[in-house]
Amino acid sequence: MEHSGRLTYQEISQLELSDLHILRRTSIESIFGLLEHCEVQMLAPDAILLKQGQSNQTMYLVLAGRLSVHLDNTDAEPVAFLDTGQTVGEISVIEASPATAFVKAAELTRLLAIDEATFWRLVEVSHEFATNMLLLLASRLRANNNKMVENINLRMQLEHEASVDALTALRNRRWLDMNLPRMTHRHQFSKKPLCVVMLDVDHFKNFNDEYGHASGDTVLAEVARVIMHKLRPTDLAARYGGEEFCIMLPDTNLKGGVVASNRIREAVAASKVLAPNGEELPRVTISLGVACVQQDDTPKSILARADEMLYRAKKNGRNRVEA
């Protein structure tokens, strides 16, 4: 298999992407910031893409060519073919389960590889992508009645595993607990930097007591909106609990983490927030603690160190970043 590196407009056009079944009716411009980090791969004829029982965390989109699907072994008669515009591997991503069949190239095939983190970001930010995914699952239900109950559970799991906090639309604590270990290990293995930021809203309890929980919820939603607006497509954010948030900044060193954190801090301080009755609320500030993953870190230790820096920021006057 040959890897052609990062996706570029020269390698693949937005028109080509819009022809993919899973991206139909999707605004390609709005999600290209996510897709441009994915790999375009070339698979030679008879080259194996997936092996039955193999761990897989990638959904593949067939840009050109044809894949064949086999049970038991790759020499067996194919049970299905996947042509241009179709996908494979999404069930493994949704279920976090091994591949259930062998998949190989029936001819020279060009693929777009979407990793697990990007898949769930697409589900989160694009209603059309999520709808197309549900329709894809539904079509497979109709195609295989013997697995109907199992696939219905998978569709329900797709909605559940999105793990989005209802108030802020960010990922929730459960998602963070599931994914931070994988991200930590990945960056330790690649020796690429990963910054973790813990932040919370200053004097939030007093704000809630004075202006009410409905106004407090409005503030949390606004802070979340600012966070997402200031992050790169590859960055991830979750509501850790209460008024506390966690941000993961891949391929970012400590200096870059401080710069990104200050950008968010300044944007929150400048944001206007309206109460449910339409009246403008006092502006709020946030404090942030930044830590970079080290080789001996565990998810627990990196969160604890970032939380320690958050505590220092609050102790030193709030509305500041400590690293």
Question: For 201, phi and psi rounded to 5 degrees?
Answer: -80, 130
For 117, residues 6+ apart whose C-beta sits below 8 A from its C-beta are 179, 183, 236
Question: What is the C-alpha to C-alpha distance for residues 120 and 58, in angstroms, rounded to an integer?
Answer: 11
SS3 4: strand
The tokens for 316 are: 């030193």
Identify whether the C-beta of residue 104 lies closer than 8 Å to the C-beta of residue 46: yes
Q: Which of 85, 74, 78, 66 is nearest to 48 (CA)?
A: 74
Question: Where is 3: in which H helix or E strand?
Answer: strand 2-6
Place of tokens 């959904």: 59
Q: How far apart are CA 260 and CA 265, in angstroms?
A: 9
DSSP state of 147: G
Tokens found for residue 28: 């390609």
Asked about 77 being catalytic, the answer comes back as no
Q: Please pick, among 90, 161, 243, 322, the residue that the annotation labels catalytic.
A: 243
Q: Which residue has the tokens 């375009």?
A: 40
Which residues are CB-neighbours of 135 under 8 A, at least 6 positions away?
none
Ordered strands of the 66-70 beta sheet: 48-50, 102-105, 66-70, 80-83
Looking at the annotation, which residues are catalytic? 243
